[in-house]
Amino acid sequence: MAPTSLPIQKVKNIALVAHDHKKKDLIEWAQWNKPVLQSHNIYATGTTGRLLEDVLEMRITKFQSGPLGGDQQIGAFITEGKIDFLIFFWDPLEPQPHDPDVKALLRIALVWNIPTACNRATADFLISSMLMEKPYQRIVQDFTDYQQRRI
């Protein structure tokens, strides 16, 4: 399976997701990084998206809430190349009724090699990277051979 290179443009498509107990952290983080985030396209699940619109004072593309399929919608956008970057403040100590969806979203982000932060420290490092200001070529494994073997 040969790798292929997929572009991430200068203006990133960033998905912001947070579990209930982490929404406050994500909102504070977004407010702190408002100038950077306003220069990108922001996507979010349900309630998180509505809260972010107020804080960031910009239009957010909103999906369903996570338990209603929002995590899966973001995962689909990742596979279609429509999401470049994932900030997902998830709560590892709180059981989630949609835990399989959460794990699937994180797996998709890893498979498609998009930058992913699951906590504030990692999000700080990613958002402050010099790569945020320019295009980037991410390497993604070509799964054609894998798919053909599975048929």
Residue 98: the pLDDT is 62
Cα gap 131→22, rounded to integer Å: 26
The full set of domains in the chain, from first to last, is 3-150 (3.40.50.1380)
List the one residue out of 30, 39, 36 whose CA is nearest residue 11.
Answer: 39
Residue 91: the pLDDT is 79
Residue 68: the pLDDT is 87
Residue 75: the pLDDT is 96
Q: Which residues are catalytic?
A: 71
pLDDT, mean over the chain: 90
pTM of the predicted protein model: 0.89
Q: Is the pLDDT of residue 107 over 70?
A: yes
